[in-house]
Amino acid sequence: MKKRVLITREDLPGRGPDRLSGAAEVAVWPGTGKPGPADLAALASGVSGILALGNDPVDGALMDAAGPSLRVVSLASMGFDNVDRAAAAERGIVVTHTPAVLAETTADLAFALILAARRRIGAAGASLASGSWDLFRMRDHLGLDIHGATLGLIGYGQIGRAVARRAHGFGMRVLHHDPYAPDDDLSTSVGLGTLLAESDIVSLHVPLTEETRHLISTRELAAMKPTATLVSTARGGVVDEAALLHAVRTGRLHSAGLDVFEREPMGTELSPLVAEPHVVTLPHIGSATEATRAAMVDLAVDNILDVLADRPARTPLPGSPAVPGAPAEAAGVRA
């Protein structure tokens, strides 16, 4: 008898869903928006695995709705703040994510935000589209240089290192703050205060945890240069958006580039940051290439198939067991 697996969204890219359907009985939530806890709980009874996107809620109540058959929660994402990891650990459930496959693509996007925010590309393009480019003026659309600037990376895992490699092509000095990462040939490890004070661009590459929530707020923004740019492709809750909005509006910070927000998705209730001319905003597209999104789903499926076949998961979360019921190991969380 085939085991049952719940997929929280329809229309996932790649061949992963077909491979999963060949090995398990699959229940798919059929809605078009973001499923709520009750939506998923109604489909979860008796499932052995759950394949979820990075912002679909997987809490203790959903795990209980699945019952004792649940062995693995597999996220098609790098982030994992949507999962109650403590509840999973209590029940001996493996939790996996998809780290390495999206690092290079997300680093591309982070650097695109650096370029767009620093050079004011969005505002310049909007001026052109509005028909207001009627004369060449030396002081129009002045941005700040990227080449030769100092880049500070908060979090120096796979994505942070990929951004550092790109920065060296621009002749940038690179600093990083990460308790798990010493100096290497790309970057120098420094304290957070030094990084904020010396960096022309600060790029965030940490997961959202209780320790990193509002890691960048009023105090940290005040420690940055007024000519600095803040970029985040991490998770929205790492930045205090009200503090960032005030810093940009008062000229305390030159610019920002955001792919993530505290409230996602937004619908028509937009964050006020979206309308700020010195802020470049995107709808969480860091991993959004055809190849990378398909690879994320494929790896999420591989993790489910491995656990259901009594093999260790390929990419369990740090601190999560690789096989159901094994004790969790304490480990630092990287991005």
CA atoms of 168 and 215, how far apart (whole Å): 26
Q: State the catalytic residue, choosing from 165, 173, 264, 314.
A: 264
As beta bridge partners, residue 154 has 177, 204
Query: Is 293 part of the annotated catalytic residue set?
Result: no
Q: State the catalytic residue, choosing from 235, 254, 293, 334.
A: 235
Query: Is 314 part of the annotated catalytic residue set?
Result: no
φ/ψ of 50, rounded to 5, equals: -130, 125
CA atoms of 297 and 301, how far apart (whole Å): 6
Q: Give every strand in the sheet of 49-52, ordered side by side.
A: 25-28, 4-7, 49-52, 72-75, 94-96
Helical segments of 177-289, H only: 192-198, 218-223, 241-249
Report the amino acid identity of residue 167. Answer: A
Q: State the catalytic residue, choosing from 9, 85, 284, 334.
A: 284
User: Nearest to residue 166, comparing CAs of 99, 112, 212, 207?
Assistant: 112
φ/ψ of 256, rounded to 5, equals: -150, 155
CA atoms of 258 and 239, how far apart (whole Å): 10
Query: Is 284 part of the annotated catalytic residue set?
Result: yes
Q: Which residues are catalytic?
A: 235, 264, 284
